[in-house]
Chain A
Amino acid sequence: MPIVIARDLGKNYRVAEKQPGLRGAMRHLFARKYKIVRAVDGVSFEIEPGEMVAFLGPNGAGKTTTLKMLAGLIYPSNGSCEVLGFTPSDRADAFRRRFSLIMGQKNQLWWDLPAADSFRLHREIYNLPQDQFDRTLGELTELFRVEKLAKQPVRELSLGERMRMELIAALLHRPELLLLDEPTIGLDVVGQGIIQNCLREYNATRGITMLLTSHYMRDVEALCRRVLVINHGRLVYDGALEGITDQFGRVKLLRLQFAGPAPDLSRYGTVTQAVDRAATLQIDRSKASSILSDLLSQHTVTDLSVEDPPLEDAIARIFEQSATPVEAAIAS
C-alpha cells in the first residue's frame, strides 16, 4: 500500500500584481490587482514504503509547494493527498508523530545551546520513552559520526555538522517518512557526500521512505532511483533516473588526450573544450562507434573516455520541452 498518494493535486496562490515605480505603488495602495498563479497544477503520483524519490525542477517549479502540501503546512486548492493514511492538512498529532520535514534553509535547533538540549526537548515534544530515546540517539550519533559535537553550542558547528544535527533531531522519533527540502544546500562536495551517505545508510537499515528536493544532481544520483520531474507545476517525468538519459539524452561526451597538440575535431561534432593536448567533444549518440574508430585510426590517442553528458543537460532539455506557466489574471 502506497505511503504517499497524490491525486490531481493542485495549489493556486493569489499574488498581488504591483506596478513598478512610485505611481504604481500608490495605485497599489488603493486598488489592488491580484493574479492567480498555479504553483502546482494537477500532480498525481504514488510512493511506496522504503522508496527514495527525488523531486527535480527549476526554481519556482512547484517542488517545495508540493512538499508543503504533503506535510500539511498548506491546503491543496484542488485534488487531494493522503500521507500515511492521513489527510495531512488535518494535522492530526498521530500523523505528525510519524513524519519529519527538514528544510535546508531553516534551522530548528536552538542556536545558542548544545544540540543535546534540543534533542531532549524533542523527546518531550514527541513523548518518547527514555530508553527508546537513548537507543535511537546512540544509533544516530554513531551513524552520523557526531559523537563529540552534541555538547557544543549549535552556532559553533560548521554548516555540515549542523545539518547532521538537524537530521538527527528530525529522526529521533523514528518517522516513517522523511520530507527533505534542499538538505545539502550551501554545503561543499565533502559535506554533501557525508549527508548523502548518512541518508542512504539510514534508508538501507531502517527502510524509511524519503522524498527530497534538491538542486544538486549529485544528491539525486547518490540517493534516488526514482525521480519526479516537475516544471511549471506539472509532472513531466516520473520514472527511473537512468530513463532520463535514455529518453532525453541524444548525445555522448568524448574526452580525449592526444600525444601531440589536439587536432581540429569540429567535423565530428561540437568541441566543448580544447586545451593543449586535451579535448572534449560532444557527438551524436547514434554515431558514437563510427566516430570513435575513425578518431583512433587517424590520431595518436593516449587516453579516452566516453561519458553521458551531465544529467543536468538532460533535465534542462525536459524543462525546455514542457509547457509554459498557466496564469489567469483577475481583478479584485
Chain B
Amino acid sequence: MNTLSATPGILAAFRKYLRIFRVSLTERFAYRGDFFLGTFLRFLPMLTTILLWTAVFDGAKESGREELGGYRYREMIAYLLLVHISRMFSSMPGLASGIARDIRDGSLKKYLVQPLDLIGYLISYRAAHKAAYIVTSALPYAVIFGICYRFFDHWPDAITLVAYLISLLLAFVVGFAFEACVGMIGFWLLEVSSVLYIIMTLNYFVSGHMFPIDVLGEPWATFLKLLPTQYLAYFPATVFLGKTTGLDLTHGLIIEAIWAVVLLLLARVLYRTGLRRYSAYGG
C-alpha cells in the first residue's frame, strides 16, 4: 500500500510490528498479579464442566445410552479439555469492545496521525498476549492433562500433531479477524455492548465451546460446520481427537485458512469504510 522511498519495505514493517509485539509482551508482564491470578482461575471452569458432563452421562447410562452425539463419556471429557486449548489460541478478550471504545472516545486518532496500521498493530499486540499466556500456562496445562490422561484413548501421531498445531495457529487468526470485524460495528453504532453480548453468547454455542457441535443433531450440526466459528473451538479439538482425518482434515485446514484470509480482508474493508464515515462525520 504505502510504497514510499522512505520505507525500506516489508522488512521494516515486520520490524515495526515485531517491536509492538515485544513492547506488548513487556506490558503483559507488568500486570503480574492479574496475570498469574487470571492464569490460575481459568482452570476452575474446567472442573465444573467435567462434573456437569459426568452427571449428564450418568443420567444417559440409566436410560441405556452410552453415547451422546457420537461421543462416549471419555471422549466428551477429552473434547472439553481440548476446547480450552483451542480457546487459548482463538479467544480475544476485549478486542471487539476495545476497537469500539477507541472509535467512540477518539483514541483511534493515533492510527490516523502516525504511520501505523490499526489491524497490524492489534494483531501484533494480541500475538504477544497469546504467546505470554501460552508459555506461562503450559506447565499447569501439562499437569491437568497428566491428571486427566485416562480420558484420552491414545496420543496422536506426528502428522496429526502438526495438523493440530496448524489448526490452532489458524484459529488465532480466525478468532482475531472475527472479533475485529465485530468491533468495527462501532463505526456505525455508538453503543455496541448489547450487540457484542449477543454475538459472544451465541459464539459460545456455535463454536462448540460448550459441547461438540454434533450433539445438536441435524440439520444444525451441518449448518454450524459451515460457519467460521467452528474453527474457534470445535475443529482443532476434533483434529486432536482423531475425529477429523484424511481428506476431511486437509479440506478442513484449507477452508480454515480461507476463512482466516476472508475475515481479515473483511475486517480491513469494514475499517476503511468505517474510517471514511468517521472522517466525514467527525472524530
> Which of A's residues lie within 8 Å of B, judged by CB?
11, 13-14, 39, 65, 68, 71-75, 89, 91-94, 96-97, 99-101, 103, 106, 108, 110, 112-113, 117-118, 120-121, 123-127, 153
Which residue among B8, B106, B114 has the maximum number of chain A CB atoms within 10 Å of its CB? B114
Find the B residue at minimum CB distance from A124: B19
- B23: which of A97, A99, A106, A120 is its contact (CB, 8 Å)? A120
The docked-state distance in angstroms from the alpha carbon of A170 to that of B168 is 39
Find the A residue at minimum CB distance from B105: A106
Which residues 69-111 of B have a CB within 8 angstroms of A? 106-107, 109-110
Verify A113–B30 contact, CB threshold 8 A.
Answer: yes
Verify B115–A124 contact, CB threshold 8 A.
Answer: no
* Given A110-B27, A113-B23, A125 and B115 contact (CB-CB distance below 8 Å): yes
Residues of B within 8 A of A91 (CB): 112
Verify A96–B20 contact, CB threshold 8 A.
Answer: no
Is B15 on the interface with A (CB-CB < 8 A)? yes
Which residue among B12, B281, B282 has the maximum number of chain A CB atoms within 10 Å of its CB? B282
Which residue among A74, A103, A106, A153 has the maximum number of chain B CB atoms within 10 Å of its CB? A74
Could you list 15 examples of A-B contacts with CB < 8 Å?
A11-B282, A72-B113, A73-B283, A74-B279, A74-B282, A75-B279, A91-B112, A93-B6, A96-B114, A108-B110, A113-B26, A113-B27, A113-B30, A120-B23, A127-B115
The docked-state distance in angstroms from the alpha carbon of A100 to that of B2 is 19
Is B161 on the interface with A (CB-CB < 8 A)? no
The docked-state distance in angstroms from the alpha carbon of A125 to that of B278 is 23
* Given A71-B113, A91-B112, A126-B115, A121 and B23 contact (CB-CB distance below 8 Å): yes
Q: How many residues of B contact A (CB 8 A)?
A: 31
The docked-state distance in angstroms from the alpha carbon of A97 to that of B12 is 15
The docked-state distance in angstroms from the alpha carbon of A72 to that of B281 is 13
Residues of A within 8 A of B30 (CB): 112-113, 153
- B20: which of A93, A103, A121 is its contact (CB, 8 Å)? A121
> Which of B's residues lie within 8 Å of A, judged by CB?
2, 4, 6-8, 12, 15-16, 18-20, 23, 26-27, 30-31, 106-107, 109-110, 112-116, 278-283
Find the B residue at minimum CB distance from A65: B282
* Given A72-B113, A117-B23, A117-B26, A13 and B6 contact (CB-CB distance below 8 Å): no
Total contacts A-B at CB 8 Å: 86
Residues of B within 8 A of A153 (CB): 30
Known: A71-B113, A117-B26, A121-B23. 12 other contacts (CB 8 A): A71-B112, A72-B112, A74-B278, A93-B115, A94-B4, A96-B115, A106-B106, A108-B110, A112-B30, A113-B26, A124-B18, A127-B6
- A127: which of B16, B112, B279, B280 is its contact (CB, 8 Å)? B16
The docked-state distance in angstroms from the alpha carbon of A74 to that of B281 is 8
Residues of B within 8 A of A13 (CB): 281-282
* Given A74-B283, A108-B110, A112-B27, A127 and B8 contact (CB-CB distance below 8 Å): yes
Verify B15–A124 contact, CB threshold 8 A.
Answer: yes
Verify B12–A127 contact, CB threshold 8 A.
Answer: yes
Verify B279–A120 contact, CB threshold 8 A.
Answer: no
The docked-state distance in angstroms from the alpha carbon of A112 to that of B25 is 12
Residues of A within 8 A of B115 (CB): 93, 96-97, 125-127
Find the A residue at minimum CB distance from B111: A91
Residues of A within 8 A of B106 (CB): 106
CB distance from B115 to the nearest CB of A (A): 4
The docked-state distance in angstroms from the alpha carbon of A13 to that of B277 is 12
Find the B residue at minimum CB distance from A11: B282
- B113: which of A94, A96, A112, A120 is its contact (CB, 8 Å)? A96
Find the B residue at minimum CB distance from A101: B113
* Given A91-B112, A117-B26, A125-B115, A74 and B19 contact (CB-CB distance below 8 Å): no
The docked-state distance in angstroms from the alpha carbon of A14 to that of B12 is 40
Find the A residue at minimum CB distance from B13: A127
* Given A13-B282, A14-B281, A72-B112, A110 and B23 contact (CB-CB distance below 8 Å): yes
Verify B16–A75 contact, CB threshold 8 A.
Answer: no
The docked-state distance in angstroms from the alpha carbon of A91 to that of B109 is 12
Verify A112–B7 contact, CB threshold 8 A.
Answer: no
Find the A residue at minimum CB distance from B27: A113
CB distance from B35 to the nearest CB of A (A): 12
Residues of A within 8 A of B109 (CB): 71, 73, 101, 103, 106
Residues of B within 8 A of A11 (CB): 282
Residues of A within 8 A of B19 (CB): 120-121, 123-124
The docked-state distance in angstroms from the alpha carbon of A117 to that of B6 is 24
The docked-state distance in angstroms from the alpha carbon of A106 to that of B114 is 15
Residues of B within 8 A of A65 (CB): 282
- B279: which of A73, A94, A103, A110 is its contact (CB, 8 Å)? A73
The docked-state distance in angstroms from the alpha carbon of A225 to that of B161 is 70
- A100: which of B112, B113, B282, B283 is its contact (CB, 8 Å)? B113
